[in-house]
A and B are shown apart, each in its own frame.
Chain A
Amino acid sequence: MTRRLGYLPALLVTTGLFGAGLLLAAVQSLGGLPVTGEADWSVAAYRAVFRSHFFWSALGMSAWIAGAGTLAAAALGTLAALVLWRLRAGTILRFLFAWNLPVPHVVGAWITLLLFSQSGLWSRLAHAAGVTRTPADFPALVNDPLAVGVLLELAWKEVPFVGLAVLAALTRFDRRLLDVARSLGASRWVVFWRVVLPAVQPALVSASLLVFTFAFSSFEVPYLLGPTSPATLPVLAYRAFSDPDLTARPMAMALCVVIAGLAGLVVLAWALLSLRGRGRP
C-alpha cells in the first residue's frame, strides 16, 4: 500500500487540480461561488446556452473541424506510414517526416496563413502561372466558412502524429504474414483490409482519439484561421470567460462543462469499444 503513495503527487495535479477545476466549473455554472453578491442556484446558464443559436452553430463547427480533421489525419497518416514502411524508411526519413511535430500550433497557423491566404505564396504562384489575376480570384481558404485553413493546419501537424503511431505498429508487424496471405490467394486490397489494417488498428484508433479530442478543444488555430462566425465551442467559452461583464461567467462555465462532457462521452465510447475489442480472440 505504501508503494502506491507514489501516485499521490500526480493525482494531486490531475485530480486535485484539474478534476477540482471541472467541479468548480460545474458549481459556478449552477450559480455557486459568485464573483458578485450572493449565490443564486439555478440552471439558467444551461438554459441560456441550449437556447442560443451561437451554441448550436459552434457545436456544428467544432464537430466538423474535429471530425473532418481527424478523418483526414487518420487517412493520410496511415497512407504515409504505409509508404514509409514499404520503402523501409530509416531514421533520417522518419525524422524528416516528423519534423513538424514540435512546431507549436500558433506557428503552424501563421505558416498556413503565409501559404494559403489570398495574398499568400500559393496565390502568388497561381498568379505567376496565369491562373488568377487578382488575390480575390484565389479561393478563400483562410477564415472561410468551411474552415479549410483550420483543417489544412490540423492535417499538416497531425499526419506525422498519426503516421508515427501507425509506423510503430507496422514495425512490430511480421512481414511474413503478407506472403502467407498472398500465397493463399488474397488480392492486395484484401491483404490491406484483412491483414495490415487489423494489425495497426489499435494504434490508429488511439492516435485518432487524441487528434479528435485535441481538435475538439483547440483554441488558437480556429481563432486565427477559422471563420469568425460560427466560432468553435472553445472560442465561445473563452469569449464568455473574458467578458468584463461578470454575469456572463456562469454561461462560460456551463460551456466548459458541456465541452468537457462531450469530450468525456467520446473517450468513454472509445474505452468501451477497446474493452470489447480486447475480449475478442
Chain B
Amino acid sequence: MRRTRRILGATLVIGGALPLGLLLVWSFSRRWYFPALLPQEFSLHAWTALLAPAGPVWPALKGSAWVGGMTALLATLIALPAARQLARERPLPRAVVGGLILAPLVLPTFAGVMGVQVALIRLGVADTPAGVIAAHLIPATPYATVLLTGTFEGYNARFEEVARTLGARRREVVTRVTLPLLLPGVLVAALLAFLVSWSEYLLTLIVGGGQVATLPALLFASAQGGDYALTAALSVVYVTPALLIFSLVAWKLRGWPA
C-alpha cells in the first residue's frame, strides 16, 4: 500500500512536471531539431525578446490582468447577493432561478456574445476592455455564484445572533463575525472568476476584435507563427499566475471550470 502510493505519487509528479519542464526547456533553446532529445544550443533569446521593454508581452500582461481583475471584482459583487438568497431559497424557485443564472455554464457562451456584438458596437464598447469585461462576466458570474452559494450554505447566521447576545455592536458583528467567516469563500470565488477570465480566448477575440491585447491572444498568434522558443516562454509567463492561484486555493478543490 505504502509502496503503491509512492509509485503513484512519483507518476503524478513526473506527469505533472514533464509538460511544464518541457515548456521551460523549449523556452531556453535556440536550436532543437528532430531527432535531438535535448536542445543542440541553449540561449536566452526568447526571454530577452519577450521581456524587452518594448516587447508585446507587457501590454498583453497588463490587458489580461486588468480585464481579469475587473471581471473578478464585478462577478463577485454581482454573485454575492444572488448566492446569499439562493442558499436559503425553497427548492422550486431555487431550481428555476439557479437554472437561469447557471445556464451560461452549460451553453455555448460564444453564441450569445456573437449575437450581442451588434449591441456592443452600438453602445461603443466593442473593441474596448469594457466590452471584453462585460463578455467575460457571462461565464465568470455563474462560477462565482456556484462557489458563493456553497459558502453561504456553510455559513450559520446564528453566530451573528450569538455575538449580539454577547454584547457585540452591529459593526463588531460585521467585522469580527460575518466577514471572517465569509471572507475565505469570497476570496476563492474571486480568484476563480479571475482564472475564468484569464483563460478566456474566444470571447476576447469576438468582442475585442484583436484590439484588446491579452496573453492568450498573443500566445495564439505566436503558436501559429511557429517560433517554438518564444511560444514556450510566453506559455510559462501565462500559466505561472494560474498555477500560483491554484496552489493558494487548492485546499478548496471544488467547482473548477472545465
Contact = CB atoms under 8 A, between A and B. Distances in A.
Interface of A: 3-15, 17-26, 28, 33, 35, 83-84, 87, 89, 91-107, 109-111, 113-115, 119, 121, 123-125, 127-128, 135, 157-158, 161, 164, 168, 209-211, 213-214, 216-217, 219-220, 224, 234, 237-238, 241, 252-253, 256-257, 259-260, 263-264, 267, 271
A119 B34 contact: yes
Contact of B220 (A9, A106, A123): A106
B246 A135 contact: no
A225 to B, nearest CB: 10
A237 B110 CA distance: 10
Contacts, number: 259
27 contacts: A4-B97, A17-B112, A17-B138, A18-B116, A20-B115, A93-B12, A101-B256, A102-B199, A102-B243, A102-B246, A104-B198, A106-B199, A106-B216, A114-B19, A121-B22, A123-B34, A124-B34, A124-B37, A128-B35, A209-B106, A217-B108, A217-B109, A234-B108, A256-B115, A260-B111, A264-B107, A267-B107
B78 A107 contact: no
Interface stretch (B41-49, B80-88, B163-171, B175-183): B80-88
A6 B82 contact: yes
A108 to B, nearest CB: 8
A253 B110 CA distance: 11
A59 to B, nearest CB: 14
A7 B82 contact: yes
A219 B81 contact: no
B1 A104 contact: no
Nearest to A111: B19
Interface stretch (B50-58, B154-162, B247-255): B247-255
A101 B239 CA distance: 11
Interface of B: 1, 4-5, 8-9, 12-13, 16, 19, 22-23, 26, 33-37, 77-79, 81-82, 84-86, 93, 97, 99-116, 118-119, 134, 137-138, 141-142, 145, 195, 198-199, 201-202, 205-206, 216, 219-220, 223-224, 228, 231-232, 235, 238-239, 242-243, 245-247, 250-251, 253-254, 256, 258
A253 B114 contact: yes
Given A93-B12, A114-B22, A10 B246 contact: no
Contact of A10 (B22, B141, B253, B254): B141
Contacts of B8: 83-84, 87, 89, 93
A99 B5 CA distance: 18
B9 A104 contact: no
A23 B115 contact: yes
A149 to B, nearest CB: 13
B252 to A, nearest CB: 11
Nearest to B22: A114
